[in-house]
């Protein structure tokens, strides 16, 4: 079909990279701390904080994987300057979670929580895009443990630290608060196309003071 895409060359044929990024062959593993062990009987996915009904929502692993599925083709851009392109992520769209566990009208941000207390904050608008997805699969295969099994968030238009691996829940917030890397020198918004890498680049509108 058509002409061959030059994947062998090592240069992105499908997508342009954000400024300062370079293509990485393969898929490196990058995170802080150990890889958590998945214990299905203890695992749940929670939505809490400022929910519309004031309650908490929780799904077991079985229930979570039965939620509506979608797939999104998206790149990962690590702030340390490598990118991995053209992955097909399968999983539960953020919008499905929002529909089943709606936020209160005054919610402006979310905190996405992962194992060991890792967290990333997002503006509600970044969370609610139709490409934001809680991925369980990449290119048709279950995620491996080191890449975030059973669930990782993918936010295609932001740097990859905004997508926690080993996600366990979402907190709806009525004001912004910094997540793990956002407290440790990374930009509160993290748009790779604007090269928003570090907190010292932030303007007052980009987030709460450090």
Ligand X SMILES: Nc1nc2c(c(=O)[nH]1)N[C@H]1C(S)=C(S)[C@@H](COP(=O)(O)O)O[C@H]1N2
- Return residues touching ligand X (CB under 6 A): 27-32, 76, 78, 114, 118, 147, 160-161, 163-166
| Count of CA atoms in the C-beta half-sphere (13 A) of 103 | 23
Residue nearest to Mo ion (CB): 78
Buried b (16+ CB within 10 A) or exposed e, 177-207: ebbbbbeeebbbbbbbeeebbebeebeeebb
Buried b (16+ CB within 10 A) or exposed e, 136-161: bbbeeeebeeebbbbbbbbbbbbbbb
Instruction: Please report how close the Cβ of residue 150 comes to ligand X at its closest, in angstroms.
Output: 13
Instruction: Please report how close the Cβ of residue 131 comes to ligand X at its closest, in angstroms.
Output: 17
Any idea which residue has 């509600």 for tokens? Answer: 124
**Is 82 or 172 the residue whose CB approaches ligand X more closely?**
82
Instruction: Please report how close the Cβ of residue 184 comes to ligand X at its closest, in angstroms.
Output: 10
Computed on alpha carbons and rounded to an integer, the radius of gyration of the chain in Å comes to: 17
**Is 7 or 81 the residue whose CB approaches Mo ion more closely?**
81
Q: Which does 89 bind (CB under 5 to 8 A by kind): Mo ion, ligand X, none?
A: none
Residues that bind Mo ion (CB under 5 A): 30, 78-79, 160-161
**Is 10 or 28 the residue whose CB approaches ligand X more closely?**
28
Q: Which does 163 bind (CB under 5 to 8 A by kind): ligand X, Mo ion, none?
A: ligand X
**Is 107 or 135 the residue whose CB approaches ligand X more closely?**
135
Q: 119 by DSSP, 3-state: which?
A: strand
């Amino acid at each position: 079909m058509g002409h061959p895409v030059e994947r062998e060359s090592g240069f992105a044929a499908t997508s342009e990279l954000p400024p300062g990024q370079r293509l990485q062959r393969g898929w490196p593993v990058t995170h802080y701390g150990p890889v958590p062990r998945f214990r299905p009987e203890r695992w749940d996915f929670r939505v809490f904080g400022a929910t519309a009904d004031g309650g908490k929502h929780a799904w077991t692993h079985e229930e979570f994987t039965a939620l509506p599925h979608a797939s999104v083709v998206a790149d990962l851009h690590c702030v340390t300057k490598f990118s991995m392109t053209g992955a097909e992520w399968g999983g539960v769209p953020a919008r499905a979670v929002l529909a089943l566990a709606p936020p209160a009208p005054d919610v402006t941000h979310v905190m996405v929580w992962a194992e060991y207390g890792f967290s990333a904050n997002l503006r509600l608008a970044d969370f609610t895009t139709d490409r934001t997805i809680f991925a369980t699969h990449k290119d048709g295969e279950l995620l491996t443990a080191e890449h975030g099994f059973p669930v990782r968030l993918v936010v295609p238009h932001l740097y990859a630290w905004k997508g926690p691996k080993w996600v366990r829940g979402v907190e709806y917030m009525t004001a912004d608060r910094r997540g793990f890397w956002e407290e440790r020198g990374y930009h509160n918004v993290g748009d790779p196309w604007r090269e928003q890498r570090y907190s010292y680049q932030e303007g007052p509108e980009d987030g709460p003071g450090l």
